[in-house]
Structure 1
């Protein structure tokens, strides 16, 4: 249950600024205590986490102060949703993510590699001729931050994001995203809204009303995409766990979708994709291309204990982007569901291949090539 918006703005956001200043003042002491820790307690891990926590808190505080300044300059919120201020908020988001990305890669010794074909400058400019709908795997800490960072700062896209409502507990996300086109999904429908067949009979009860509202929000976001827009959806609805994987298969079987359940059981790295939000987006944006995003490297870091044991990470995060042009994208639910499962099987195979090559120490090669693969 989220605190009311007024509480989040007047209590939680100022607390973040106070916390940032406190951490900044205490950082020399905290780093000294980290140095004095016995090595068996993770001295290096503690130092890196302390340093990153201080930087993150300061960045959050600066972002919130910038948002406050824009709110005042917009006439105390009167023009905050105008095109000018939306561009300013996208610029702020891009700056924040770029700084966090640069710091995180150094502090945790990460390397990010994106596999995509090379293009000429003319081709790179031409790729902004149509909007895109981005369907991404959901796994590991920070995956959505990396994705949005690359869309904003590498591909110059303006992302619209379907995300969990609980992320509003982060004050900077709460303020910035709520001033930009977005859709927040409540826990019952975490990730991407329900399947289309789950929405049948919408309005029969409050749950169906909420489901229909989520699909309506996704349609609105997709229909309003400009040539540089990107609607981001995570069809799995959450990080992969064995429990969620089994529940996803059971859900399909309960709906007598036995063929889909059989296909989902063969995918051991991904949750079965939910098609409701994807169908809503693709029918509302018939001119949009589709980008499928796979990534691996932080997959096994699910719990706080996993993250602690994994530090310093010293790893390579690999991503693979595939582009499907609008004319090759099915737009009906009947055709879209098997097409979505086809792509999810391809992504699952890519992830399995990356894990094998990583354990063997070989350079990974994509096991499946596709002619329509290109950058976003």
Structure 2
């Protein structure tokens, strides 16, 4: 079934982190539920005042409703994970096929609930092209990273459409969310340190995700490693010019995405050579919404989100590292060009003013 990747930190620290996270979410859910009538009145007053002054969309009300929806989803998610653990042996069974399938299905519902809540409350229009390319597995999925919202998109869109379970490469900071922390250790997941002093050890963990990848599974990675802005792009291109001069001409052509960090993607391509197809996923419409403060500006309301998938057979990936690097950049350039085309078609570069300002910074 592929190896589970245990937390390499001290057990005590792990238990404290999870206890604090679960307690904080449970307490927040209770408080928001109990105080909801008062909070709703306050949100409506704030929104009405801002709308009368400058016709700002009703963001306080939307954010309050989503806060409750998010916390309720977290409670349901943790309950489902607990039931799956107890009914498949609990502490007496380290791993179980039925437990993994249950966790995959739970995560699809969890992500779909969060992403669906955003779509309904903020009036997002979702257009997906090429969803048929997302499955079946085994597949490697390379997706761009643009905002805090696209973390739920892979399971909510691709996983739901094809019923496949995704093994994730995630940044270690996401362990602060209990459902991700607990659920991620019940299926193959690696939480990487982005500034690790031992990158070889991190890559060895990433490689393990490709072991025994099943026909109903995929591996998802964000090759950029962080969310795109113009400043981050310029910095990444300058770093590559200094450290990887042969790659620099390829990186310098990119305009709308960051250059892919080669370590993780190349390790996965190498480990799964000939056994998994490769899917690239691009999207526009969520750019610039990196923090809650960006969403507060109101630019997310009524946004059109376009998603496109491209699929390549594993046999099309070159066998040597240089060839794979050039091939990966070629596909990333296709994605970059598509984003540029979509922004022109959507008008005003496809970005609300606040989002455009965030990307420029």
TM-score (norm 1): 0.83
The aligned residue for residue 258 of structure 2 is: 271
* 8 Å CA contact retained: 2:57, 2:298: no
Name which of 17, 29, 48 aligns with 1:20: 29
What is the match of residue 94 of structure 1? 108
Q: 1:360 to 1:187 in 2, by over 3 A?
A: closer
Q: Quick check: 1:7 aligned with 2:7?
A: no
TM-score (norm 2): 0.86
Q: Does 1:285 align with 2:272?
A: yes
8 Å CA contact 2:286–2:300 kept in 1: the answer is no
Deviation at 1:9, TM superposition (A): 2.5
How far apart are the structure 1 equivalents of 2:22 and 2:132? 43
Q: Which residue of 1 aligns with 2:356?
A: none
Residues 121-200 of structure 1 mapped to structure 2, 5 A cutoff = 128=136, 130-188=137-195
| Structure 2 unaligned blocks of 5 or more | 1-8, 351-361
Aligned to 2:301, the other structure's residue is in SS state coil
Bigger shift: residues 18-27 or 7-16:
7-16
Name the SS of the counterpart of 2:166 in structure 1: strand
The superposition leaves residues 20-57 of structure 1 with CA deviations (integer Å, 9 ceiling, x where unpaired) of 11111111111111122243275711000000101111
Residue 75 of structure 2, aligned match among 55, 61, 69: 61
Deviation of 1:7 after TM superposition, in Å, equals: 0.6
Flag the 1:33–1:360 CA change in 2: closer, same or farther, 3 A: closer
RMSD value over aligned CA atoms?
2.4
Q: 2:6 corresponds to which residue? A: none
Change (3 A) 1:284 1:361: closer
Deviations 1:288-342 (A, max 9, x none): 1000111010112234332211355211110110000111112321101111111
The aligned counterpart of 1:198 is none
Q: Which consecutive residues of structure 1, in runs of 5 or more, have no partner in the other structure?
A: 190-206, 363-376
* Residue aligned with 2:329, SS: helix
Matched residues in 1 for 2:127 and 2:242: separation? 40
Change in Cα spacing, 1:90 to 1:337, as seen in structure 2 (3 Å) is same
Distance in 1 separating the partners of 2:57 and 2:285: 23
- Match of residue 355, structure 1, among 330, 336, 343: 343
Cα distance between partner residues in 2 of 1:322 and 1:7 = 42
* Cα displacement string for residues 214-234 of structure 1 (whole angstroms, at most 9, x for unaligned residues): 211121111221112111111
